[in-house]
A and B are shown apart, each in its own frame.
Chain A
Amino acid sequence: MTAGSRPTLAVWKFASCDGCQLSLLDCEDELLAVADAVRIVHFNEMSRAKADGPYDISLVEGSVTTAADAERIREVRRTSRRLITIGACATAGGIQALRNFAAEGEYLGAVYAHPEYVSTLRSSTPISAHVPVDLELQGCPIDRGQLLEVITAELTGRRPVLPVHTVCQQCKGRGTVCLLVAEGTPCLGPVTRAGCGALCPSTGRGCFGCFGPSEGAATGPLAERLLDDGMAPVDASRLFATFYAGNPTFGDQAVALSRSDSRADLAEQEEPT
């Protein structure tokens, strides 16, 4: 970015629901300050106006699911000084990565009346599988506080403060009583990355794992606990596979659970890598 001028920001959409990019517009109290600090030059959810690159900061939402998108992300990378992926789709393939685990065309046939008109790749892959990524912001959707933190850190030239520890730590910090221990409610908090502020447990719902695995997440022992509490392996598998199936830490655990009728089969999943 040149001195004296505001850096440019572009927002890109790949295979996704738009929820993460809308988090930027959801920053209502801070939006004017952000718009003062950067020039938002490409953001379809906000304006039809588009400026050509290069861009100082690109926020990329969504996964790569078509051959055309696999090409387009290279162009985005080529014209972006900093490329930041936002959300579970862009960083792990998203919910649509469930098709990576199914037979070819299985989901396509279930969703579309005429799948023959749809041309997609065999799997849904994160942006980092295609181009180098400067920073990955987790969540389905991302937390707008974390998005502001990342943008601010970029503008200041410092490292963003983004926790890699577990949701449990945010639960304990806000005084939420542990649902798993006090009620036996299935919860992925002990293996899920913090960042949401432990939102679901604070409303009595177990963590769905929508921020992906925490650093060094030990999914095997947690899976055993869920089965001990009476959860069926197929249900535990779905819990691990919902938002971050494309991430091997959760995806491999989901596969192990789906193939197991007994806990003994989980033994090889116990060691975090």
Chain B
Amino acid sequence: MDVGDIAVLEREDLDMLIAALRSMGFRTIGPVVRDGAIVHGAVSGAHDLPAGWHDHQEPGCYRLEQDESPELFGWAVGPASWKSEFFAPEETVWRASITAQQVTLSEPDDAAGPVAIIGARPCEVSALAVLDRVLMGGAHPDDRYAARRDGAFVVAVECGAPASTCFCTSMGTGPSARGAFDLALTELVEGGHRFHVQVGSEAGAAVMARVPHRAITESDRSARQDVLEDAETRMGRSLDTADLPGLLARNLEHPRWEEVAKRCLSCGNCTLVCPTCFCSDVSDVSDVSGTVERQRRWASCFDLDHSYLHGGPVRLTTASRYRQWLTHKLSTWWDQFDESGCVGCGRCLTWCPVGIDLTEEAAAIRAADGAVATGERRAS
């Protein structure tokens, strides 16, 4: 097969795909059920995948349930995004050992080896492209992220089961696969359990050369079409993106920011589950024996510390922090990176402990475009 080719993989041969990836030296990480959610874990074969599991998501609520269905990908997205596989939540950037005579510097070695991620949704493939641009696209690429990302293999799985919190159709990121995947599968259950396979790269073609597959038929094509059309109709939410960056940019004093602040916990969960939020904090720590480490960990714009400049934090109120987050995601991200920072995965709705809905907040601002909070001083 070549890039752009399409074939069919029978369900019983899915193990062969995972085995091929493993034999080529990839760590295979995919969806597994743990602690009441679909998260990422080591997958050694199709038996590790969440057969028959389905998620029910609402703002502030996530529940899993299992039925007799043989579906392996009958769910939307879990709390973990693929970001954490490449952009570690916490890591040591370098280490220094200090004695009276000398300072020795060393960088920790990521010996884990290249990863194959199995089951990335189209919205997540788009999210990785957004992160790539942020962390590798500029003049100062993030070496640690790049090293993990460059060798990675992406098996996307098109979405057949969007949640009530999903809005990828609004953001143009799904439910069909697009962008940089190596292979894209579509799970077809009706008329024989099988996968529609698209080859997205030379690496993907090399893997398929080791995996049994057959030519696609007209009924396979229409079955995939049915899955995707059905998914579009089941998309639980939508976001009106017409001039969205402009809308938010001209509504920085909108009363809605104060209103949402009364509900917002400022806990940072939305930013941590977001597959594109990239902020990190760097600190140098030492121990009594003279070892010094520079550590990097995820940070959130909801932290008071995040806006700490000389003299103190500049975003003291929850309103200002929520506004910073939403306007960056949907508006100023365009100024900075020429695209949206939101891919419509809906995680920030589901995993917000109080269920704040990004699409609802943006819609409320649009509904009263130009409103200014009473007594609010216009930003200079």
Contact = CB atoms under 8 A, between A and B. Distances in A.
A191 B269 CA distance: 12
A166 interface: yes
Contact of B354 (A172, A174, A217, A225): A225
A222 B36 contact: no
B354 A221 contact: yes
B177 to A, nearest CB: 26
A151 B353 contact: no
A14 B31 CA distance: 51
B35 A181 contact: no
Interface of B: 34-37, 39, 60-64, 79-80, 84, 89-90, 262-269, 272-273, 283-289, 297-298, 300, 302-305, 318, 350-351, 353-354
B266 A168 contact: no
B288 A155 contact: yes
A169 interface: yes
Interface in A168-186: 168-169, 172-178, 180-184
A225 B289 contact: no
Contacts of B283: 161
A270 B262 contact: yes
Contacts of B303: 164-165, 169, 215
A54 interface: no
A26 to B, nearest CB: 16
B64 to A, nearest CB: 8
Chain A interface helix/strand/loop/mixed: helix
B298 A175 contact: no
A48 interface: no
A152 B265 contact: no
A178 B34 CA distance: 12
Interface in A37-73: 37
Contacts of A156: 286
A270 B79 CA distance: 27
A168 B262 contact: no
Interface string A119-136: 000000000000000000
A84 B305 CA distance: 22
Contact of A215 (B287, B304, B353): B304
Nearest to B90: A173
A148 interface: yes
Nearest to A192: B267
Contact of B63 (A182, A190, A272): A182
> Considering the complex of A and B, which 10 residue pairs feature the smallest CB-CB distances, nearest first?
A190-B267, A172-B272, A173-B89, A177-B35, A177-B37, A33-B288, A215-B304, A190-B265, A182-B36, A166-B267
A235 interface: no
B37 A165 contact: no
Contacts of A116: none
B288 A168 contact: no
B36 A221 contact: no
Nearest to B304: A215
A224 B60 CA distance: 13
A215 B61 CA distance: 25
A10 interface: no
Given A177-B37, A177-B39, A221 B265 contact: yes
Contacts of B267: 166, 168-169, 189-191, 214
With a 10 A CB-CB cut-off, give which of B90, B263, B288 has the most chain A CB atoms: B288
B268 A168 contact: yes
Given A190-B353, A218-B264, A225-B60, A36 B288 contact: yes
A272 B318 contact: yes
